[in-house]
């Protein structure tokens, strides 16, 4: 089968972000609370029908991406808000815990592991030597996640909205400076939002099943 087409531009060395190997003393894991947010994105439903998402830049207050949600495949279609061009599609598999993503023509497969808490790993497209993992951070909040690299350093996090709002989902903070724009940001944004929506649908199904069982 032919290989993936170029991902926007050929991989370039990332200044200030050495490509780490396990145990690299130049890139020790950083405590979660010591890392400051570099770019923050707000994720929310853009209508009461819950069929669309809006992803806004909190710093600039501008709409960056829209997401159309479908019951059919693909379940998610990400569009650039400025051009309305589709940048990615997401297929949430029904028969097994996998998420198939196509971003700018390149494939990312996320296998969700459920041993204790949901988590998923993949080899980065923007940083070819890096492996990232999205994982649940709270046993009580199913929509709170963090993304770490192979050295367990946090590169991004998603925090669910603290209110009972049915519209506001949460905030995605990208803490890796080279990933605050371009393909790298889109990769972290897309995998994070897709993983969040997967967990959101799972939580909604479990809640509905519990309510139905209680009234039966």
Give the domains, in start order, of the chain with CATH numbers: 39-208 (2.40.160)
Distance CA 134, CA 198 (A): 12
Question: Higher model confidence: residue 92 or residue 163?
Answer: 92
Mean pLDDT of 97-122: 92
Q: Chain-wide mean pLDDT for the chain?
A: 82
Selection from 187, 114, 183, 179 nearest residue 153 by Cα: 179
Confidence of residue 116 (pLDDT cuts 50, 70, 90): low
Mean pLDDT of 147-176: 90
Percent of the chain with pLDDT strictly greater than 90: 61
Mean pLDDT of 123-140: 93
Q: What is the pLDDT of residue 11?
A: 43
User: What is this structure's pTM?
Assistant: 0.79
Distance CA 204, CA 166 (A): 12
Side-by-side strand order, sheet with 98-103:
106-111, 98-103, 86-92, 76-80, 62-69, 52-57, 39-45, 168-174, 154-160, 145-148, 131-136, 119-123
């Amino acid at each position: 089968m032919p290989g993936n087409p170029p991902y926007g531009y050929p991989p370039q060395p990332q200044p200030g972000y050495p490509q780490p190997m396990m145990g690299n003393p130049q890139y020790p894991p950083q405590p979660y609370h010591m890392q400051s947010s570099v770019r923050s994105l707000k994720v929310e439903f853009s209508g009461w029908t819950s069929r669309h998402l809006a992803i806004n830049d909190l710093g600039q207050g501008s709409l960056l991406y829209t997401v159309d949600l479908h019951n059919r495949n693909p379940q998610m279609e990400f569009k650039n808000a400025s051009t309305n061009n589709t940048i990615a599609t997401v297929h949430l598999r029904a028969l097994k815990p996998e998420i198939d993503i196509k971003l700018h023509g390149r494939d990312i497969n996320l296998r969700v592991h459920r041993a204790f808490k949901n988590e998923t790993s993949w080899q980065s497209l923007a940083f070819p030597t890096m492996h990232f993992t999205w994982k649940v951070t709270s046993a009580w909040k199913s929509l709170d996640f963090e993304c770490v690299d192979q050295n367990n350093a946090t590169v991004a996090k998603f925090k669910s909205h603290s209110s009972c709002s049915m519209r506001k989902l949460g905030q995605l903070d990208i803490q890796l400076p080279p990933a605050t724009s371009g393909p790298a940001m889109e990769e972290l944004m897309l995998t994070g939002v897709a993983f969040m929506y997967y967990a959101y649908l799972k939580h909604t199904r479990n809640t509905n099943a519990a309510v139905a069982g209680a009234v039966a």
